[in-house]
Structure 1
């Protein structure tokens, strides 16, 4: 599954990180939204969360959040 291209429908990295943050704060986020967010982050940065991380933590996450990766 790919994230929608329209940012208002979840196609931006800002949206993807926001979904991850909501989930970490124990907000209501369904698994489809998480998968869209993770796929969007992976599409830009080529990275997935640390294997087995219950909070979807990434290595060097601070850098990923500000760095624009290859397209």
Structure 2
């Protein structure tokens, strides 16, 4: 499944990481937004969060974030 291009629907990696950061900061984030963010990350990186991670942490997350960061 390809992530949609609309950032509000999970098509933007910057948006996806921001949603996860907001969730980790205990801000009000809808479960659908989390699902869309994880789908966008999986679509680009082919990776899922660490199994059992309550905060949706990824192994080598810093490297994943930097990989597609704007230059």
Same fold (TM over 0.5): yes
What do you get for the CA RMSD once the two structures are aligned? 1.4
Superimposed CA distance per residue, residues 2-60 of structure 1 (whole angstroms, 9 cap, x where no aligned partner): 543123x2420000000000000000001100000000000000000000000000000
5+ residue gaps, structure 1, are: none
TM-score normalised by L of structure 2: 0.86
Equivalences, count:
67
Name 1:36's counterpart in structure 2: 36
TM-score normalised by L of structure 1: 0.86
